[in-house]
Amino acid sequence: MDDNFKISLLSVCGLLEKHSVQYMVIGGTAVAYHGYYRPSTNMDGTISEKPDIDIWYNPTYENYFRLINVIESLGRDVTKYREEKIPDPKKSFFKLELPDFTLDFLPKTRSKITYPVASLKKEAIQLDGVNIYFISFDDLIEDKKSSGRKKDIEDINELKNLGNPD
């Protein structure tokens, strides 16, 4: 793992842990965790200038407001989210462009898998004293299949070639 990316991932997951946010790392970072590294790509397929970290958060009200605290800790103004009359955590996506990486907080994946079910199968590692939670291999494959995007199909094939079952 690239040192800059490791620092970025640790800083985000450290804040998530500090604020007791229920989450899982998904997307390309989870693909790398499960054995196949590829650079982050833009929607048009070109390689991104900086890594992208996708975080699936449990879209409950309590967890949503914990996540808002994390976003504030990352230097963003969250006043409008705190003042919302009727927040909808199940529809609240957050994209943060940070100096060294892009961070997406997502309330759902493209698949039909629910957070509570996926959470029972999540995988955890500890890196430099920080707990980091990843979507399970099977749920990652299911999510990738649901998108049908070329890069997701390639991710599935590469992971299978590494000897991981589907």
**SS3 call for 25:** strand
Residue (of 21, 27, 104) closest to 60 by Cα position: 21
pLDDT digits (tens, 9 = 90+) for 134-165: 999 999 988 988 887 888 888 878 888 886 55
The domain total for the chain is 1
Inside any domain, residue 116: yes
- Its pTM stands at 0.89
Domain of 157, in residue numbers: 3-37+47-161
pLDDT in tens, 24-79: 999 889 988 988 887 676 667 777 778 889 999 999 999 999 999 999 999 999 99
CATH number, domain of 9, equals: 3.30.460.40
Residue 42 covered by a domain: no
